[in-house]
Amino acid sequence: MNRIKQLFENRNNRKLLSIYFTAGYPHLDDTLQLAKILEDSGVDFLEIGFPYSDPVADGPIIQYSSEEALKNGMSLAYLFSQLKELRKHIKIPVLLMGYVNPMLQYGVEHFCQSCAEVGVDGIIVPDMPMYEYEELYQETFKKYGISNIFLITPQTAVERIRKIDDLSTGFIYMVSSYATTGKNLTVSEETTAYFKRTKGLNLKNPLVVGFGIADHASFEHALQYADAAIVGSAFVRLLSQSDYLQQIPSFIEGIKGDVVV
């Protein structure tokens, strides 16, 4: 069974935390070291970003990390070479997150095969159209056992959400607002209504909230309506500190806190 499905099926009502970071930032060869520290600090699954020159869904913090990673020499080929050692060190699920253009340039089948070979469990590609995935790539993803994670927003129609639920094999990424990454989660009536509305659909797949989760309060609020939450920009911001490796355990502890389940 895919590690993502195992995680959610065996979580015993634990509320789960995912961390996003950009491969190649702040240093080219940080990838496995960061993954190991994050797992040891209690993170439940990881999202490793593969950088792209035009990250339109990302705010300035992750955009900057992508620019720096590309300057450092990060590429998909280099990332997969790093991840050859992944499963010698990391047990938790790992997803790659990025944009469709680098994946197409690498070759979709080659990409899925490389993911399977190194032990990557799924991918998140926000700008890959659903119909293209269904018509062109779904069978390739199934062949290699790779989960494709779709995003929904407050504007996503119920019919489309249910279609995404049918196509999904991991979880559904519930974007907290129609904005780029890095904006703090606004606990508004509108956001809460969106969370409640989506939870009320009783979907087959777990719901994972992302965009704007930056501290224990926003993590706890999201987990009233979802099975997990993702911290991205707040963690990438931490990586700009000179002692970022030493700060990671306390950062994770501060996010997770004592969440009531």
CA distances from 180 to 30, 95, 225 (A): 25, 20, 21
Report the DSSP beta bridge partners of residue 95.
47, 122
| pLDDT at 181 (0 to 100) | 46
| pLDDT, tens digit (0-9, with 9 covering 90-100), for 211-227 | 889 999 999 989 999 99
Record: fold of 16-254: TIM Barrel (3.20.20)
Catalytic residue, candidates 30, 44, 58, 227:
58
Structure tokens that stand for 141 in this block: 């993803």
30 is known as an active-site residue: no
The sign of the CA dihedral 88, 89, 91, 95 is negative
Q: How far apart are CA 145 and CA 163, in angstroms?
A: 20
| pLDDT, tens digit (0-9, with 9 covering 90-100), for 156-209 | 999 999 999 999 999 999 998 654 444 445 556 888 899 999 999 999 999 999
Give the CA radius of gyration of the chain: 17
Catalytic residue, candidates 39, 47, 121, 220:
47
58 is known as an active-site residue: yes
Pairing of strands 147-149, 45-49: unpaired
With b for 16 or more beta-carbon neighbours within 10 A and e for fewer, the 45-64 pattern comes to bbbbbbbbeebebbbebbbb
Q: How far apart are CA 127 and CA 135, in angstroms?
A: 16
| pLDDT at 13 (0 to 100) | 83
| pLDDT, tens digit (0-9, with 9 covering 90-100), for 159-169 | 999 999 999 99
| pLDDT at 53 (0 to 100) | 86
Region 101-122: mean pLDDT is 98
Q: How far apart are CA 15 and CA 31, in angstroms?
A: 25
Please state, rounded to an integer, the average pLDDT across all residues of the chain: 92
Region 122-143: mean pLDDT is 96
Structure tokens that stand for 234 in this block: 């707040």
